[in-house]
Amino acid sequence: MSVEQYFALCENFDWFYDFTEDFRIWQKGKETNANLMKYAEQNLTYMRIYTAWKIFNFSGANFGTPQKPKPLLEDFL
């Protein structure tokens, strides 16, 4: 998988799956998250991408913190 492909997977991932009441959505999110982490654990660049998207998505007014900048693909190439 290329850096661009992994970045797109993280960008389009439902980071808020854990907040759903629908078990199917939660299960799919949990499985997808596990797959993203599997790749990230094997590649430092992928781990940096994963972490950047996680920090971005879990920051801002809803989390009582300043909004972190949106990750940019060119920062990981």
The domain limits of the chain are 3-60
Q: So what's the pLDDT on residue 40?
A: 98
Q: So what's the pLDDT on residue 16?
A: 97
Residue with tokens 């990750």: 71
67 within 8 A of 60, measured Cβ to Cβ: yes
Identity of residue 28 = K
Q: Is the pTM of this model over 0.75?
A: yes
Angle between helices 44-57 and 3-12 (to 10 degrees): 20
Total residues belonging to the chain: 77
Q: What is the pLDDT of residues 31-77, one digit of tens each?
A: 999 999 999 999 999 999 999 999 999 999 999 999 999 999 999 99
